[in-house]
Amino acid sequence: MTAKEVMEISPIVPVIALDNVSDALPLAEALLEGGISLMEITLRTQAGLKSIEAIAKSMPEMHVGAGTVVNAEGFINALNHGSQFVFSPGISQELMSTSKELGVALIPGVATASEVMLAQNNGFTYCKLFPATVAGGVDALKAFSGPFSSMYFCPTGGVKLSNLNDFLALKNVVCVGGSWIVPNEAIKEKNFKSITRLCKEALSSLGSESP
């Protein structure tokens, strides 16, 4: 998959930190039931890689990739565990080179005009704006649309139900990322039905006025 194809799978990218591998498949099922077939599982926890592996092996209908990938080692580990794509909170020559060498989609994180230029000049036209609301949010993306008209973004960080439509209304926004749709508390309590409800609530709100 290309970065474009990854970002077009779902308008909402759940950003997930799992503490237990046993929660991976029930969570994937809950997301699918809620209408979302894309997961970004972060490598912030020890369960991250094994969770990616479990989903990749057992649920081919779910597109699973790694998040919080910050170097080539993490990129390769993610790929070896079945990751189909990689999200990073930042951008580096190391990550971009690894993506090209392995032929695996990288959605690098950018927060400034200089970082957007670095991505663009290396052929990465699909990026994560992170941390989105801290980096200027909707206003920053509107400003980027002038000098960087060929660049597209997945704002992540501070995105929630109340502002996701503000982001998705922008022409240079393909999807949004967020953890609000997969609350840690719900995962710990194994309340996966509530996650399905959150997915359906978010998807049904698309294109409507913000609550």
Question: Could you please report the per-residue DSSP string of 80-137?
Answer: HTT-SEEE-SS--HHHHHHHHHHT-EEE-EE-SHHHHHHHHHTT--EEEETTTTTTTH
Long-range contacts of 112-119 (CB under 8 A, 24+ apart): 113/144, 113/147, 113/148, 115/90, 115/91, 116/144, 116/148, 116/151, 117/148, 118/91, 119/91, 119/151
Catalytic residue among 128, 142, 201, 209: 128
**128 among known catalytic residues:** yes
Catalytic residue among 4, 5, 8, 40: 40
From the list 173, 113, 90, 177, the residue with the least C-alpha distance to 138 is: 173
- Identity (one letter) of the amino acid at 164? L
From the list 33, 26, 95, 30, the residue with the least C-alpha distance to 67 is: 95
Give, for 74, the enclosing helix (H) or strand (E).
helix 72-80
Q: How far is CA 18 from CA 4, 37, 47, 162, 182, in A?
A: 26, 17, 6, 25, 10
Instruction: Please identify every residue annotated as catalytic.
Output: 40, 128
